[in-house]
Amino acid sequence: MKWVKRIVMVVAALLILPVLTLLLLGLRSGAGHVRSSVDVQASPGQLWTWIDDGEYVKRWVSWTVEMKPWNPSAGVGATRSAVMRDENNGGAQMVIDGTCTEYTPPKMLAVKLSVPNVFDGLQTYHLTDLGNGRTRLVIEMSYHFDSALARLMEPLITPSARKKMDGDLARLKSLVEGRAELH
């Protein structure tokens, strides 16, 4: 009977320890926050089009199926939605609603994002003129997850989001510096 008790304790420890680890990691500073940047050989005005115009956004932000235009037009209070195919969720489509909270072309764009019952957050784009036709784009995202499971999995979600953003920024740099045009 002792061996059954030991097996049950080992199995319980194998289940509880990872959950406790995720819970503790979810309490770290920076949980739910992603920051990434890229320097691009383009002026802030040239780069602005790639973050403000939905047709351009679709070209460099992976998983984007559709990017609805700003409604009524770009500026504080304007809304737009992105339809994404979430590759981390079996390719399920997700609609992310955005409301512009700051609009200062070609320097700053801030958008409050929301997927009901999944997450809400803020995504900001900062463009800095580095001179000589170069611009630094810094994107920061801060998210709050609604479901307990997503909050538990945040230590895995945030690094995955950072990896995706880094890949998206590399694609943006390649497209802009290649002077890709919409077709």
Which residue segment(s) compose the domain that 110 sits in? 31-177
183 lies in a domain? Answer: no
Residue 26 shares a structural domain with residue 93: no
Residue 15 shares a structural domain with residue 69: no
Which 8-state DSSP code applies to residue 33?
E
Q: Give the model's pLDDT for residue 183.
A: 43
Please state the domain count of the chain: 2
Can you state the percent helix, strand and coil of the chain, rounding each to 5?
40, 35, 25
Nearest to 68 by CA among 59, 55, 78: 55
Residue 149 shares a structural domain with residue 164: yes
pLDDT tens column, 15-50:
777 766 766 667 678 888 999 999 999 999 999 999
Omega of the bond prior to 72 within 30 degrees of 0, cis?
Answer: yes
